[in-house]
Amino acid sequence: MSAVDESRLQISRALVSVSDKTGVAEFAAALSERGVELLSTGGTAKALRDAGLEVRDVADVTGFPEMMGGRVKTLHPKIHGGILADRDNADHREALSENDIPVIDLLVVNLYPFEKTLARGADYRECVENIDIGGPAMVRAAAKNHAHIAVVTDTEDYEVLLEELSAGGVTLKTRQYLAQKAFSLTAAYDAMISAWLAEETAQDFPDRVALSGARQSVLRYGENPHQAAAVYRSNETRPGVVSAEIVQGKALSYNNLNDTDAAFELVSDLDRDKPAVAIIKHANPCGVAYGETLEEAYSLAHRCDPVSAFGGVIALNGEIDGETAACITSIFTEVVIAPSANAEAIEIFRKKKNLRLLLTGALPPQSAKRMLMRPIAGGFLVQTNDDFRVDENALSVVTKRQPSDREVRDLLFAFQVAKHVKSNAIVYAKDGATVGVGAGQMSRVDASRIAAQKSADAAETAGLPEPMVKGSVVASDAFFPFADGLLAAANAGATAVIQPGGSVRDEEVIAAANEADLA
């Protein structure tokens, strides 16, 4: 680094051109009070003049007026030369002098609001017009030349820069920090535009994928205490855990966020014509149920596995009322997430200061296509979201006995829940509620047995005369490779089974089902 780089940068001239004018007049006034000459364009120049500040138009510097509806105004050597010049290079200094190019020490730019334009459903042409060109070009130029110029792209950094100037000038460390933010901004901006165009042109898997996110918060730690973690917000507008209003409670942990997302996605995937509740522990459901009310749905979901539900995450698909809140707060709960809660419910939750209450404002659309990503060594996997829903009319009954209407309803429900259970997954359900869940087992037989044992334990806790799994139906997330897993479910008390089929031993499994009088 040169001597200039190591010293504090003095600001004598600033180019200010922003679409988000929050605080810009006050910031520019503070610069002007320090003797900084202000250059500006269009609406920003007007806003500064309206605030009583003296401003020089960029057009006066370039000798060209703004043209083509503002598409061309700063794309000129007299602007980019003043931004990019290496002040330590004699040739650069000579070029500045010969061409009467004013040096720019500070660039203050934020970009056209493409994200907001897209979010409000603007048409294709308006979105294109809100793709900024001159702004990113200047920002990248200033960020590259951070040895000699400071670049501010975030209104939150106005105060940072003024504090630096009050201390004698902008340090190299601060200029590097601002440059990093600038490159992050332009990278995220282009990634957003690229993703939008890929969607507009129906490219599920374009040749290149650019990911971007804005840091929402640094977490205390990751999945384990020795791991660092943070949560980033993407451009996705889907209602959920990241966008939710945190009404109360301490900061969410990495595991809280993971479990809360799993819970809300599950309950959002269920039928919406009746109240539903999902209770999650370690990203797996330990109870899911429909009810006539949310209170009833919660009680049925909790009954499935009350031991695991302790300290769990609860998701509801409607507005929480006082009765439901009172029921939920009767045991220790980490997080509650729902579209809304009434005043009585919020007041009840307030009595549990450590309980986090998240309100999303809405349920996400069930039909929205999403791309899901998972990192692997050297890259990442991408797949479409699992939006599969079983059509009752498309069911194929392969046994002698036909399922009853009640069994069909419970089979469809159990299979929908199984989608959200780590494989190998087995879900027992009865009367619109899970009564046993076996998750994440290497053997499907073990998943069947564990789910049945949990059902027996829950029945004993509830003082019921027999395991709840008796007379239930069972869903398997994949085919039964052998008859033993299916027979384990039958021995537990299941009367009907739903599974994808496709095993080379399907006939053997079907024969065993017929022998056990399963549907």
Active site residues: 144, 282
The answer to whether 189 and 210 are in contact (CB under 8 A) is no
The span from the first CA to the last CA of the chain, in angstroms, equals: 77
Q: Which of 336, 341, 200 is nearest to 278 (CA)?
A: 336
Whether residue 258 is preceded by a cis peptide bond, meaning omega within 30 degrees of 0, is: no
- Residue whose structure tokens are 């929050």: 22
Tell me how far apart the alpha carbons of residues 65 and 376 are, in angstroms, rounded to a whole number. Answer: 51
Q: Which H or E run includes 300?
A: helix 294-304
Tell me how far apart the alpha carbons of residues 9 and 151 are, in angstroms, rounded to a whole number. Answer: 12
Question: Which tokens sit at 227?
Answer: 């791991």
Q: Which H or E run includes 284?
A: strand 284-290
Q: Where are the beta strands (DSSP E) in 323-478?
A: 333-338, 340-341, 356-359, 371-376, 379-384, 426-430, 433-438, 473-476
Q: Which of 327, 374, 317, 376 is nearest to 352 (CA)?
A: 327
The answer to whether 438 and 454 are in contact (CB under 8 A) is yes
C-alpha dist (Å) from residue 156 to 4, 41, 162, 341, 461:
26, 21, 11, 33, 54
Q: Which residues contact 461 (CB under 8 A, 6 or more apart)?
A: 306, 307
Question: Which tokens sit at 153?
Answer: 């792209």
Dihedral sign computed on CA atoms, order 26, 31, 34, 38: negative
